[in-house]
Structure 1
Amino acid sequence: MKYRYREPHEMKDSGVEWLGMIPKDWEVKKIKRLVREVKGGVWGEDARKDSNDVPCIRITNFNRTKNIIDIEDLTIRNLDYLKQKDFLLQNGDLLIEKSGGGERQPVGFTCIYNSDLKAIYANFIARVRVKKNIYSPYINFLFSVLYSKKINLRAFNQTTGIQNLSIDKYFDEIVMIPLFSTQQKIADFLDKKCEEFDSVIAKKEMLINKLEEAKKSLISEVVTGKVKVIQKENGEYGIIKREDHEMKDSGVEWLGMIPKEWEMYRMKDLASKEKYSFVDGPFGSDLKNEDYVEKGIPLIQLNNIKNGSHIFNKMNFISERKFETLKKHSANPGEIVFAKMAEPVARCCKVSDSYQKYVIVADCIKLKPKDGFEVDYLIYLINDESIKSQAEKISNGTTRIRINLSNLKELKLFLPAYLEQKLLKIFLDKRCTQFDSTIEKQKEIIEKLKSAKQSLISEVVTGKIEVL
């Protein structure tokens, strides 16, 4: 399908700031004038495996890339058959998130239900049905534009931690509406164009996944000794597979063969002889939310520990005075911090030098290695799948596993000599930087594609572009 940008003489002022100019033959109306029904959802009761069990659409079923409802892995709820009739979905219904949301994904997101499956929808969702002269796929794209321009934020009502969308206020917003046939033409055009964008984006995401897996595989082969790093004639470093005669049985089922010269250590063997070199965080009663201050000594919490990276998001701080009472639990730049829980358990990172000192919380562990161990290499090793699987086996808990300090101290590590650790670290740093650079470029391309896709939707839906 072809399209063109409309000429200025074909346009008129909509009188709406965010909307600007629209085609002369288009109307401006409040959203509520396009809608014939809005109905909140229902949660029902737990499934009973009887005739009243019914699939229930939740916010997790909102496909935020395609603005449609995914009907895979639906939650089953139980609702009396007679009550179900009021909440059953029809093909073409619009579903809008009216409660919940978050800082990155505020409420107000809308998807279309493109299925004939008998299903109801949860209480944090409202069902929207449009009038007969309105084409719901077009309105779905219109809501996408409103959301991208943050018009939904005007209708926020947040009195607690949960965001609520005032549907009445939101639907008082003024939008543009073309003839029914034009709505259909626009929706059909955008369906095809979005499919093209989504296809390219999906291929880029697949490439990123392959690069991530290739990076993990390389790290694993290096830190488990399956390959060795050698210096080539051109001065560059490469890897070759170790011969059988260079290997020995590790005596550990999950690891198998390791290089003959590598030695086994327990995590506690790495710790410095200094006092408090291998400790976990303070009891909850020793560090409470009321101890947090605007600025001061930063805390290291679970969300700050990513595989190999010290992340500075959602930071909390304590005063210097409070720090003095928690010195035992302090962490300094260059030391290693572990996460006791949250996937993956025992993940770790090197403490950043962005601050001079930190304090770990109860769900974290700090290790100060003794001399003779390359910290960056240890980070690569401990975050490898071979160590992760070992950590999971000795962790406690069922739904949410946790590793305690005593168990972490007993984790087995197989290490080369210090100089080889440094060599492997240099090699992995370079190769991982190359992987990360390529991955970052692909992510930038994806963001540009998403931006171009949303821009096209906006230009077409608001009439700046005419579908021929």
Structure 2
Amino acid sequence: MSKYRAYSDLKSIDTNWEVAPSHWTFMQLKRAVDGCKNGLWGSDPDMDDNDIVVVRVADFDRAKLTIKSSGYTLRKIEQKDREHRLLKNGDLLLEKSGGGEKTPVGQVVLFDKNFDAVTSNFVAKMTPLESHNSKFLNYMFACIYDSKLNTCSIKQNTGIQNIDSEAYLSEKFCFPPRYEQTQIAVFLDRETAKIDRLIEKQQRLIELLEEKRQAVISHAVKLSSDSQSSRLSHYVNLTTGFAFPSSEFSHNEDDIRLLRGVNVGVGNVKWRDTVYWPHDCLREFSEYILQTGDIVFGMDRPWISSGARVAMVSKHDLPSLLVQRVARLRALGGLCQAYLYLILSSNEFKSYIEADLTGVSVPHISPEQIKNFPFRVMPEKQQQAVISDTQNKLNKIDEIKSKARKCINLLMERRITLISAAVTGKIDVRDQVPQDVDEAVAS
């Protein structure tokens, strides 16, 4: 932030703020908004005049501090119930229930649309007072959220986080005069838009790299007119897991982990949600013990946006037992395990399977579908050469993707830091705003 000047006249505040610009006012958050009105869910739509958009937490665009542009939910809300709940452009939406470990409840976004809508029962409406700029308040609440001040007002009794809005809005913040709020908001609109464009470019680069990655895999395994083919059933040992009863799950970390569908990610095994099975029962389930190098495939919803839910088991994933709805594959003589992994990761395999999944609400693949896939047969020596060449190309792609993700993280940190510095008076951005904006504000 060294390129921005600091305020010259500061005052001490008896809080964690330490100092703030001397002309700013320290007061409770609730003095900036006209209450906090809870929403409602209504009933199923009737396709008549009582149907209206109900904004949910799922509609929040957390990165851009607003709501998404599409995918809204219509609900039937009687006219009398809308009276004090209708949203207008400039209202702030507070997430009152929901949240999670990484995204605690209390996110605030700006309603910047011009259509009739109300909030759901998990979202509350806050209308900024005329003495405050709604965009500044939106950035201010983002700063508060990133500093985790909202967590002081969270209550959790049933597994769902709820924010005590009265306690939350009793927190204090140092506010600049309205004209200066507008200047800060204009500055942040411009600067965060620049950052967002850079982030979008990096995200697009990652998308293109994903497409390139799949093209490389396809080139390695794709059947050609002159290539020999066979079905996987002749070259793989495939088994599915056991239906371990959930009532007997152990949560003792000294027991053996159960590898369930939820643990199969794209290219890796994830153990964030882990259950266990008692060690003393291991002998009777020996056929379900996984080994290093085993390939596991999530058979329910086998493909997600980032790719196929297929992974190779590493030594760090052991010991573990295979659970139902997950397939374990081991290549037999004539087929390399790494080549089998490429086959299952390919778009060709996906296209083959998806032809049988049309119209299925919850996609699920069977062992027979996997085994019936026709693949390109080649000598093991040639497979090894293909694997080596493909892996080198994939490693280079993954390296560039890693750099792009790192760049995105740095840009997001920059965005958060800039917003915090501007709304807390750490930097003076008034000279960063065009003169015509200043005149418009003054008038």
Q: TM-score, normalised by structure 1?
A: 0.86
**Offset at residue 340 of structure 1 (A):** 1.0
Does residue 378 (structure 1) correspond to residue 336 (structure 2)? The answer is no
Offset at residue 131 of structure 1 (A) = 2.1
State the one-letter code of the partner of 1:129.
Answer: T
What is the correspondence of 1:67-466 to structure 2 with a 5 Å cutoff?
67-225=65-223, 247-248=224-225, 259-260=226-227, 262-266=228-232, 268-272=233-237, 278-285=238-245, 287-288=246-247, 290-344=249-303, 347-394=309-356, 398-466=360-428
8 Å CA contact 1:338, 1:365 repeated in 2: yes
Residues in 2 aligned to 1:127 and 1:447: alpha-carbon distance in whole angstroms: 31
The 1-side partners of 2:302 and 2:42 are apart by: 31
Structure 1 residue 296 displacement after superposition: 2.9
| Equivalent residues of 2:231, 2:371 under 8 A apart | no
Q: Which moved more, 1:170-179 or 1:65-74?
A: 65-74
* Cα contact 1:308–1:379 (8 A) shared by 2: no
Q: Could you tell me which residue of structure 1 aligns to residue 4 of structure 2?
A: 4
Identify unmatched segments of 5+ residues in structure 1: 226-246, 249-258, 273-277
Partner of 1:240: none
Matched letter for residue 12 of structure 1:
K
Cα deviation digits, residues 373-407 of structure 1 (max 9, x gap): 21112111111111112223345982112123344
Residue 25 (str. 1) matches residue 23 (str. 2): yes
**Letter of the 1:398 counterpart:** V
Q: Secondary structure at the match of 1:213?
A: helix
**1:343 Cα shift?**
4.1
CA RMSD after TM alignment: 2.1
For residues 427 and 249 of structure 2, what CA distance do their matches in structure 1 show? Answer: 55
Aligned mates of 1:318, 1:361 — CA distance in 2? 11
SS of structure 2 residue aligned to 1:408 = helix
In structure 2, the CA distance between the partners of 1:411 and 1:291, relative to structure 1 (3 Å rule), is: farther
1:72-117 residue CA offsets vs partner (Å, 9 max, x unmatched): 2211111112322222101110001110111121111111111221
Describe the SS at the equivalent of 2:303: coil
Q: Are the aligned partners of 2:67 and 2:109 in contact in 1 as well (CA < 8 Å)? A: yes
Distance change (3 Å), C-alpha of 1:280 and 1:288: farther
Match of 1:66 in 2: 64
Identity %: 27
Instruction: Provide Cα deviations, 1:295-325, integer angstroms capped at 9, x if missing partner.
Output: 3322222232223333343233333113333
Stretch moving more, 207-216 or 396-405: 396-405
Residues paired across the two proteins, number: 426
What is the distance in 2 between the residues matched to 1:312 and 1:283?
19
Letter in 1 for 2:280: R
The gaps in structure 2 that reach 5 residues or longer are: 432-443
CA distance in 2, matches of 1:186, 1:355: 50
TM-score between the two structures when normalised by the length of structure 2: 0.91
